[in-house]
Structure 1
Amino acid sequence: MSKQCLMCQLTREVAAYDSNDLRGVLASVFQYIAATLGVHAVDVLLYDAATLTLKHAGGRGFHTRAFETASVHTVLAAPVIRDRRVVLNSDLRKPEWAQSQELVNEGFVTYLGMPLVADNQLKGILEIFQREALNPNALWLETLDEITVYTASALGQILRIRQLLRANADLGSTCDAIVEAWSRSLELRDYEPKGHIQRVTDMTVEFARTMSVAEAELVHVRRGAQLHDIGKLDIPDHILVKTEELTDLEWEIIRRHPVTAYEMLAPIEALHPARDIPYCHHEKWDGTGYPRGIKGEEIPLAARLFALVDTWDTLRSERPYRKAWPENKAREYISERAGKQFDPQLADTFVKLLESGKMAKPKTSSGPLLGRYDEVIIKV
């Protein structure tokens, strides 16, 4: 097969790998080098400019695993790192190299190190080891130069993707910490009964998974459930602690908390997908909910799922002014409200899951809930 055909094959193989699959990409590169250049052993070292260290990323053709230790390469690769130039050592049998037992055991005679530069930065080193003298011709060197450039480009792209993935992971961790702190603040101020947020979060995620919501979306479902009443932080305490019937004005203030939640989360772009539950979980299937009065499937799926779980947990939990409802009574209530308050298909599925035991049921719980803000019972 010609060199051009082999390069086309390499390109196709690399394109087939996951964009973050460094090991797979290097395996194809090593195979190409072995086929076109006839080398005995080849590897790639990753270079960390921050720590000035090398890390073995993969290799081919070695008799032992000793060369997977980056320290073996330090002296050989030092000029490549320092000068960013190709280094050829044509006689590893000289006395100064005899101290390296790894080189002796492998029987290497020739070393060739090429800097892998991408985005004007040294990303790593491509090393070739030969167990005999190496006398490359012009075509051999041209091919080596092509594969070095190709490998550097592929390596640079993979490292950029990994950097983005790390950044996204860090951002995700930061978002999770923010979400946890905010949801915790609600319970600490007794705006939510103890354990309510965790219960409805776990149950909503379980329900969403049962309804085949994509795994990638479940993180937003979880965050949204944790933050479902974050807008309560803007409600004056005297309204939340009020034990008498709320006035129309007070209900108007209460019913603004989904909008407040939406506005609170607006500056945090990573939490935008999680706003469906805080913003829409008080909407009703028949359009009589708030804040926008949307109806049916205009209501986001996550909010429709959560509304059922939140109602179930509220009914099954004790309050200072009432006992927890029995399971059968709570299920009957949900069934009666199907098509009015709840998505009828989801309500039917939810009740069946509860009856079959396939949906985990949190234990009857009690906890402080300031005032009588329990819309499920007071105003439906």
Structure 2
Amino acid sequence: MKTRSHTVIEACDGEEGLELAIARRPDLIITDILMPKVDGYEFLRQLRSISDVAQIPVIVYTSTYVEEVAHLFAMACGAFRVITRPAKPEELLRLIDEALTATPPSSPVQLPDDKFVLEHRRLLTDKLAQKVRDLETEIVYRKAIDSKLATALKASGQKIFDLDLLSGRLTMTEPDEVGERTVSTSANRAWLRSSVLAEDLVLLDDACERAKADRSAIRIQYRHRQVIGEERISELRGSYRYDESGTPTSLSGTVLDVTGHVTTENDRRRLAAIVEHSHDLIGSARPDGTVTYLNTAGKRLIEIDETASVFGSDMFEDLYPEDVSRVQQEVLPAIYESGEWKGELRFVGRLSGQAIPCECSCFSMLNREGVVTNIAIIARDIRSRKEMERQLNLRLVQLTALRRIDVAISGAVDLNLTLQVVVNEVRAVEWVHAACIFLYDSHLRELRFACGDWSQVDGQILAISERAVSARGPIQQVDGSGFDGITIQAQPLLSKGVVKGVLTLAHRAPEGRDQVLTSFIDAVAAQTAIAIDNAMLFEDLQRSRNDLATAYDETLEGWSRALDLRDKETEGHSRRVTDLTMRVARELRLPSEDLQHIRRGALLHDIGKVGVPDKILLKPGPLDEEEGRLMRMHADYALELLAPISYLKAALDIPYCHHERWDGTGYPRRLKGLQIPLAARIFAVADVWDALSSDRPYRKAWPRDQVVEHIRQNSGTHFDPEVVEAFLRVVTST
């Protein structure tokens, strides 16, 4: 009941039970009939007479009053149901559920009158008297049985049984706790049979029938279930007794609970089967190495016949020689100290002679005195795991190499450096002894050595590589180029179906591993071909870019010469001021990328003059105010001409701003100081220097010292002082 979460309240007798019922008002009451102080009938009558508890259902559960008249009297007193003990738990639980869910009677229970009660009490009293007489007879009977079997009980320690075949009474006798007297219990034959499992009951009946027919003893094991539901195994040994007519009258013998023994034996057999059929080596040996057991898997591991006996052989003979001393110096001391040891040991196959790595667990086996008598060992063959680890490590090395090659390809523009990285990574792989790369010239249709181990490539290596080009696929040849037992493999480097070169290597990959190496070489070859292709594309692009830049610069120089030719008086001026401006820019340590734009700007410094009429540009005398204004417009014309050309935007500083002055009085925007681009500030000095140093129709060239002095005097007004200092360092050093 407690398993169903019912709260159970217990009373020792009928009087206490009645008090608890009134005080606690339970949902259900279960009572016996034969109880001290107040019996079950009186308990029912009093309960039904109290209105507060009269509706509580009551189940009568008795083993003494089993007659129908006793049950009828209990129902007449208000019992919900009467059930005889022993009852199956599920039947009792079913009645409890039924009582708890039943609808209470609509009217009070009509209790029997006094005459009815007295009559039934008389019957019950007679029943009790008969019960007392039966008990007295039973006591005498039990004493007789106890006298006969006491000696046997003391000697055997087993349960002694006697089954009266006529009455069906079963008497079980067992020794008490100290073994000085017997304790007996009785039951009926039906109760015993109900506890035996059905399939074993058939076997038990067959054994009994054979014993009767043969007048032989019975010995059989059977399974039975206890009241609490636990399954046990007992062994029955007995024999029949017969009357004068040969009819069996009783069956006597012993019953021994052999559950533990049978379970142990079954466990031992199961364990033996598990050990014998395990895929791991399981065995035992004495501390001196004498083998006492080895399972089938162990025999297979050390390569001996599975039916052969290894008892008494020397375990150390099957260990790898280097591990024998390790067992003696490390393993055995650890087992004696802590009882166990775990680690790797190597066995040796008796047929192949190969070392077999195993993951081992060893532990001590002690006798009752705690002395190590045997050492058990469980060993798992880890060759497959070792091979897998080896392959994983190899794959990791290969992936790392591929990553390094990828980084080299991504970060380097020098093809030779990239190819050297490829060769180094391939050569670092296990089994590879040498490697080199050839580049293929599609125009000459020949291979050219790029880098690698064969600086002097012989004809055979080159021939194998050329065959790979022709086949457009890998070529392998054993014993090539004097490398005994080594495979020469040539892998064409293909990009978009075009041969870019050949990766050739010498390796000694074991059988079965060559595929691992080949897949790696395939990946390296694909990456290398891309690297070569990218390098060639980069070279082509760089060449085209250089050609285009050269064409641009030549065009600019042509424009510059055209401007000089228009104004015969300034012929050569553009080239001279450009050279001088570049020298000053380098003196100021301007970045190389800026120098190119400065050069282009210097060449085109007067490009705006194409918009100035010839009559103004070529006028020999001074310009009037309007002509001067038109002449100053050439800076704006330069902006309009060059700004739309993205290639020349960075060169606009000089054509647009070289007439600005340091003090802000220049044109076209009257910029001042550092507002003026540095390139324009440099060019302004060079332009004035060349103008004053050259002959003009209206004057002769100034002497060098006079020009230098002029430049110095205009430092801080017309020119940037720092630029002037740099300029003078340049012109005075030549």
TM, length-normalised to structure 2? 0.42
Which of 517, 534, 542 is the equivalent residue of 1:157? 534
Distance 2:429 2:509 in 1: 17
Distance 2:516 2:662 in 1: 72
Aligned to 1:370: none
Q: What residue identity is the alignment partner of 2:523?
A: E
Which of 419, 434, 437 is the equivalent residue of 1:26? 419
TM, length-normalised to structure 1? 0.77
Distance 2:489 2:408 in 1: 31
- CA distance change for structure 1 residues 139 and 218 in 2, over 3 Å: closer, same or farther? same
Does the residue aligned with 1:331 lie in a helix, a strand or coil?
Answer: helix
Which of 473, 492, 501 is the equivalent residue of 1:125? 501
Q: Identity of paired residues, percent?
A: 35
Aligned to 2:477: 90
Distance 1:52 1:182 in 2: 42
Aligned to 1:304: 681
Flag the structure with more relative contact order, 1 or 2, with Cα contacts below 8 A and sequence separation at least 6.
1
Q: Is the 8 A contact 1:186 1:192 kept in 2?
A: no
Select between 51-60 and 173-182 the one with higher mean Cα deviation: 51-60
Distance 1:180 1:320 in 2: 25
Matches within 5 A, 1:283-294: 283-294=660-671
Q: What residue identity is the alignment partner of 2:653?
A: D
Distance 2:594 2:404 in 1: 32
Unpaired runs of 5+ residues, structure 1, are: 81-85, 94-102, 361-380
Which of 643, 646, 662 is the equivalent residue of 1:269? 646
- CA distance change for structure 1 residues 258 and 38 in 2, over 3 Å: closer, same or farther? farther
Matches within 5 A, 1:217-256: 217-256=594-633
**CA displacement, residues 198-224 of structure 1 (integer Å, 9 cap, x when unaligned):** 221111111111111123322222222
Does the residue aligned with 1:29 lie in a helix, a strand or coil?
Answer: helix
Matches within 5 A, 1:55-204: 56=448, 58-62=450-454, 64-65=456-457, 74-80=466-472, 86-90=473-477, 110-117=488-495, 120=496, 122=498, 124-130=500-506, 137-190=514-567, 193-204=570-581
Which of 280, 290, 302 is the equivalent residue of 2:657? 280
Unpaired runs of 5+ residues, structure 2, are: 1-392
Q: What residue identity is the alignment partner of 2:450?
A: G
- CA distance change for structure 1 residues 162 and 322 in 2, over 3 Å: closer, same or farther? same
- CA distance change for structure 1 residues 55 and 253 in 2, over 3 Å: closer, same or farther? farther
How far off its partner does 1:319 sit?
0.9
Distance 1:72 1:184 in 2: 59
Q: Which has the larger radius of gyration?
A: 2
**CA displacement, residues 38-94 of structure 1 (integer Å, 9 cap, x when unaligned):** 445433344566x48455361312151567x999954541221xxxxx33243697x
- CA distance change for structure 1 residues 66 and 88 in 2, over 3 Å: closer, same or farther? closer
Q: Is the 8 A contact 1:110 1:133 kept in 2?
A: no
Distance 1:109 1:150 in 2: 23
Task: Name the Cα RMSD after superposition.
Answer: 3.4
**How many residue pairs are counted as aligned between the two chains?**
339
- CA distance change for structure 1 residues 133 and 144 in 2, over 3 Å: closer, same or farther? closer
Q: Is the 8 A contact 2:602 2:655 kept in 1?
A: yes
Distance 1:176 1:304 in 2: 23
Structure richer in strand, relative to its length: 2
- CA distance change for structure 1 residues 232 and 308 in 2, over 3 Å: closer, same or farther? same
- CA distance change for structure 1 residues 350 and 141 in 2, over 3 Å: closer, same or farther? same
Distance 1:66 1:205 in 2: 53
